[in-house]
Amino acid sequence: MVKSNGVGFLWGSATSAYQVEGGNIWSDWHFWEKQRGLEQCGQAVRHYEKFAEDFTLAKQLGQNAHRFSMEWARIETAPGQISQSEIEHYRQVIKTLKSLNLKICLTLHHFTLPQWLANQGGWENNQAIEYFKRYVQLVVKEFGSDIDLWVTINEPLVLATEGYLYGHWPPQIKSYRRMIKVVNNLAQAHQEAYKIIHEALPQARVGLAHNFFSLEPYRRWFILDEWATIRADNFWNKWLMKLTTGSHDFIGVNYYFHQRVLFSFNWSRGFVAFADPKKLNKEISSLGWEVYPSGLGEVLLTIWQRYHLPLYVTENGIDAQSEAQRASFITRSVAAVKQAQKQGAEVKGYFYWSLLDNFEWDKGYQPKFGLIEVDRKTFVRTPRESARVYAEICSDKI
Ligand code: IFM
């Protein structure tokens, strides 16, 4: 396994604030769930109180790094109004990670917005970029030197399409034009954050986490499926990277989807459709997503060949049907990473999604992505069998 900068390969797992902390009453998701009468995030998994226990478990499970996000909505509860107690909270979080000798990968923005900003149009409003810059400056000032890897924004394209094209997530808009505006603003926000972090910390390693797809034509003999695959690649894999050219010290790769692409028209997807893996009798997760670990290696190699930048797998995980499936998924995914390394890709870390079972957005608490199971009534944590399998991989000094 290739070693990175004397730090070694990062083996970790990831979480995001809203999905695990609990008690977040300031974010757009909180308001939206209430308004819509949906399953509420509520206490999440009480990571806000239990973070030390959770990080200790991660350490005991052989991990040497952790990816988490700060909740902007908690820190800035009204425009310009900073909560010192929340700053102190995150100081404790960071101190605890450091005391356990876990490298820190910090995400600045993972889907949720302060409600006051959502009220002003969220990422559709150019002013959001200015607000984001101010928040980033604050985080850099408070915690800058403690962070090993910076992820500015998590999955900008997922945020934009779910919220502004498919209308599944807040603010539930269905408009191609408005989605494009949001993507452009998110890309600019990333670039501004990149500059701010580097001005203060020239040695910082800054990137974003992008949801890359592994793609193949559904019917290899059909030229229009080939064409649709190229279009899907342009949209899902290349577009955001192009908009943010020059502001990546590394690329954060979130990998979940292998899609078999077919030519067919749909207003929100254009001429691109994805075949249903269930109907094709492929291995699937509980969510019905195709399980295709070798796609991770293919994606890593392609990105490496396109950009020649260091790569971190910032997310890769499964809502598994069984522990055997999760363990096998992890083993096969790591093998794919190693294969990509052998072929020349500079991959420097792998973060399983997720450390804990958590709130899976519009799908609520049903999906179970965690290495650690969390009892929904008692909040007791129990590492799963797959966590032990991953621990063996993490401690393997290759
Ligand atoms: O839970 C999400 C996470 O917030 C972003 N990436 C994908 C995960 C699984 O859907």
Q: Where are the domains of the chain?
A: 10-394
Q: What is the pLDDT of residue 319?
A: 98
The mean pLDDT of 246-260, rounded to a whole number, is 98
Residue 264 to residue 203: CA distance in whole angstroms: 47
Nearest CA owner, ligand 1 atom 1: 360
Ligand 1 contact via 353 beta carbon (within 6 Å): yes
CB 278 within 8 A of CB 284: yes
Report which protein residue has its CA nearest ligand 1's atom 4: 16
- β-strand 251-266 against 270-274: which pairing, if any? antiparallel
Q: Report how far residue 331's alpha carbon sits from residue 336's, in angstroms, rounded to the nearest whole number.
A: 9
Helix (H, G, I), strand (E, B) or coil at 77: strand
Which atom of ligand 1 is closest in space to residue 110's alpha carbon?
Answer: 4
Look up residue 129 and give its amino acid: I
Confidence label for 269 from pLDDT (cuts 50, 70 and 90): confident
Q: Give CA separation, 182 vs 131, 171, 255, in Å.
A: 15, 12, 22
Ligand 1 pocket member 283 (CB < 6 A)? no
* Residue among 168, 212, 315, 319 whose CB has most ligand 1 atoms within 8 A, to mutate: 315
User: For a pocket test of ligand 1, which of 29, 47, 155 has the largest count of ligand atoms closer than 8 A to its C-beta?
Assistant: 155
Above 70 in pLDDT, residue 158? yes
Per-residue pLDDT at 397 exceeds 70 = no
Q: Which amino acid is at 99?
A: S
- What confidence tens digit (pLDDT) does each residue in 12-44 have? 999 999 999 999 999 999 999 999 999 999 999
For position 139, what pLDDT does the model report? 99
Share of the chain above pLDDT 90, in %: 95
pLDDT at 231: 97
Q: What is the pLDDT of residue 266?
A: 86
**Cα distance between residue 383 and residue 232, in whole Å:** 38
Q: How high is the pLDDT of residue 1?
A: 47
CA of 220 to the centre of ligand 1 (A): 30
SS3 316: strand
101 — pLDDT class (breaks 50, 70, 90): very high
Mean pLDDT, residues 89-106: 98
* pLDDT recorded at residue 6: 46
| C-alpha 360 to ligand 1 mean position (Å) | 7
Distance 215 CA to ligand 1 centre (A): 19
**364-387: b or e for each residue (b if 16 or more CB lie within 10 Å)?**
ebebbbbbbbbeeeebebebbebb
What is the per-residue DSSP string for 51-67? HHHHHHHHHHTT--EEE
3-state secondary structure of 313: strand
236 within ligand 1 shell (Cβ under 6 A): no
Q: Tell me the pLDDT band of 252, cut-offs 50, 70 and 90.
A: very high
Secondary structure letter of residue 138 according to DSSP: H
**pTM score:** 0.97
Grade residue 301 by pLDDT with cuts at 50, 70 and 90. very high
Q: Is ligand 1 within 6 A of the CB of residue 72?
A: no
Q: In this structure, are residues 54 and 13 in contact, taking their beta carbons and an 8 Å threshold?
A: no
Q: Which pair of structure tokens corresponds to residue 142?
A: 């408070």
Residue 316 in contact with ligand 1 by CB distance below 6 A: no
Residue pLDDT, tens place only, 205-224: 999 999 999 999 999 999 99
How far is CA 116 from its chain centroid? Answer: 24
Q: How confident is the model at residue 7 (pLDDT cuts 50, 70, 90)?
A: low
Q: Could you tell me the fold of the domain covering 10-394?
A: TIM Barrel (3.20.20)
Q: Which atom of ligand 1 is nearest to the CA of 287?
A: 10
Beta carbon of 315 within 6 Å of any ligand 1 atom: yes
Distance 110 CA to ligand 1 centre (A): 9
DSSP 45: T
Mean pLDDT of the chain: 96
Site to substitute for ligand 1 among 353, 355, 369, most atoms within 8 A of C-beta: 353
**pLDDT at position 398 over 80:** no
The whole-number pLDDT of residue 4 equals: 40
- 319 pocket-lining for ligand 1 (C-beta < 6 Å): no
Which residue intervals of the chain are DSSP H helices? 17-20, 28-36, 47-60, 72-75, 84-99, 115-118, 127-143, 156-164, 176-200, 223-232, 239-243, 294-307, 323-342, 385-395
Ligand 1 atom closest to Cα of residue 317: 9
Span 250-273, average pLDDT: 94
List pLDDT tens digits, range 227-236: 999 999 999 9
Nearest C-alpha to atom 2 of ligand 1 is from which residue? 360
CA pair distance 257, 239, nearest whole angstrom: 17
